[in-house]
Amino acid sequence: MHYNLIKQTNRRYLEELNNRWHEFPNVVNAINIMQKTEWVINKPIYDLLKTCIMNDYGKGKLPVNPESMELPPKPYDIATNEEAKIQWKRQAQKVYKDRAKQKSKYIQVRQILAEADKFINRGGFYYPYQFDFRGRIYPKPAMLSPQSADYSRALIKFKYGRKMGDDEAFADFAIAGAGLYGEVDKEELTIRTKWVEENHQKFIDCATLPLEYTWWENADKPFCFLAWCYEYKAFVESDYSPDFITTLPLQSDCSNSGLQHYSAMMLDEVGGKATNLIPSNKPQDVYGLVASKVVMKLRDMKDSEMAKKWLDYGVDRKLCKKPVMCLPYSLTQYSCRQYLEDHVVKEKNENNRDHSFGEDLFKATQWLTPIVWNAIDDIIVGAKSIMKFLKDVSRLVASENLPVTWTSPLGLPIFMSCYKRESKRVKTQMGDSIIKLSLASDTKIIDKRKTAQSICPNFIHSLDASVLQLAVVKANKLGVDTFSLIHDSFGVVAPDVRLMAKALREAFCEIYGQDILTNFAVEMKQMLSVQNQKKFPKLPAKGNLDLDQVKNSVFFCV
């Protein structure tokens, strides 16, 4: 099977790349290093998943067979009692809706298990990887992969590992387990390791009888946490031997990487502190900081009935997480309101958390949206000024019917084209019937609105792709040779965690040793006509953040 190394359809761009791959060796080396990682199926997880699917056990947030979701019993007088009939239809509609949601998820888990079946008795397998147009790296297989669902990631582990070795490696192993469960993942590292010590027996019980002792299901990532429990049990059974070979990938996640990039670009001290670019004894939680700011604003509205309702409901980090997380990717107030509503509905359905908004949930979330929006502005000072700059520049470029093209910090040319679409009606005959179809295709006109909407997420993704690529190359030079990577999450075995951490922080500082925003501005300005060059917006003012501090920030990525 043939596929392009980079996902692009523009032939001229691909031809240019073919002649220039030698100009950005770190980009090419990174993907080749990742492709050398050999994987195997994690058999205990495989056996459990198969048992759950065959017996329709919805363990660990697994989807169940939608056909097993029974409709409510019909009232005996449904034919004559109109009110009972309407009530039953409402209840049945909810079941039909839930069945539709479950169907695609259920098919996906069956497909992933079918793929795992093919590899369960094989010695090992490898993933081919591919760049998207921004330089982000994805495994070509879409289902069973290290970037798929929680249960899919738990299904695979490295074929070759390393000896657990010293206490530092086990401490990193313990911290990863606490992070997967999620109870103390925002606390100091000593609290996380202590949590592991206190719950020793629970881990053993989960790994011994996962269908009977189901505490693991409460984890943020249930199956990955259970895979960690299996590894923990095996290590305990080795009598904590330093020669124990660990093969489980442990993920270290960046602290809201999008906002980290904006803060680093602007040398923004406020945003840098909120996203752990600056060392501290306790991790900064930007979602929690925004939630606290929202609560303060609500308490100041003493005479507002709606403010009282939201305070009674409880504004927490989980409510604010999605809006804050999506801010770097062109969040709008419209989508911010939708995320707030989605969270309240999800809490009601999954955790039976009541609210007093009644049928006016839309009105309540619409009222809260500008308050959350302003709270984000207060905490993340630099992000919105950069986003406005990027959008203004991209509109100027698009106004000349040009695609927005820039060079990544590692030299990879990035080509972003957002063309307007046109729809054509086509008539065709099928048997005795005439079928009318609508076919959409790209025009040759650049869509200014879509370009402005797309520039922020695509620019940030090109930056985190560059950091990942350089970090992989640096880590490999330090001796790390197995990787499980998800854009801003870096997975290696426990003895390699500190090497990966060192490489990542050095890569981040090296990338931002360049003036990223100025380089982008220079490239964009050169593309424009003299008339539009005069309209070019000023670069946002920078702060005084010392980025070298990132090298000593434990919570930058943990």
Rounded CA gap, 179 and 168, in Å?
A: 17
Q: Residues near 44 by Cβ (< 8 Å), separated by ≥ 6? A: 207, 227, 230
Rounded CA gap, 318 and 423, in Å?
A: 41
Does the active-site annotation cover 488? yes
CA angle at residue 402 from 396 to 405, to 5 degrees? Answer: 90
- Matching residue, tokens 């000349």: 400
Of 485, 508, 527, give the one whose Cα is nearest residue 249. Answer: 485
CA angle at residue 113 from 110 to 119, to 5 degrees? Answer: 150
Instruction: Tell me whether strands 489-492 and 250-253 are parallel, antiparallel or unpaired.
Output: antiparallel
Rounded CA gap, 68 and 54, in Å?
A: 12
Helix (H, G, I), strand (E, B) or coil at 422: strand
464 sits in which H/E element? helix 448-477
Which residues on neighbouring strands pair with residue 163, listed in sequence order?
245
CB 530 within 8 A of CB 278: no
Which residues on neighbouring strands pair with residue 407, listed in sequence order?
413
Q: Residues near 10 by Cβ (< 8 Å), separated by ≥ 6? A: 415, 417
Of 150, 153, 152, 139, give the one whose Cα is nearest residue 110. Answer: 152
- What backbone torsions phi and psi does residue 234 show, to the nearest 5 degrees? -60, -40
CA distances from 347 to 235, 340, 371 (A): 37, 11, 21
Structure tokens at 238: 């080795």
* Residue of 253, 488, 496, 546 with catalytic role: 488
For 225, left (φ over 0), alpha (ψ -120 to 50), or beta?
A: alpha
Q: Residues near 158 by Cβ (< 8 Å), separated by ≥ 6? A: 37, 38, 39, 40, 247, 248, 249, 482, 484, 493
Q: Residues near 48 by Cβ (< 8 Å), separated by ≥ 6? A: 59, 210, 211, 226
CB 464 within 8 A of CB 137: no
Helix (H, G, I), strand (E, B) or coil at 406: strand
Rounded CA gap, 55 and 77, in Å?
A: 35
Which residues on neighbouring strands pair with residue 130, listed in sequence order?
138
Query: How many CB atoms sit inside 10 A of residue 400's CB?
Result: 12
Catalytic residue list: 488
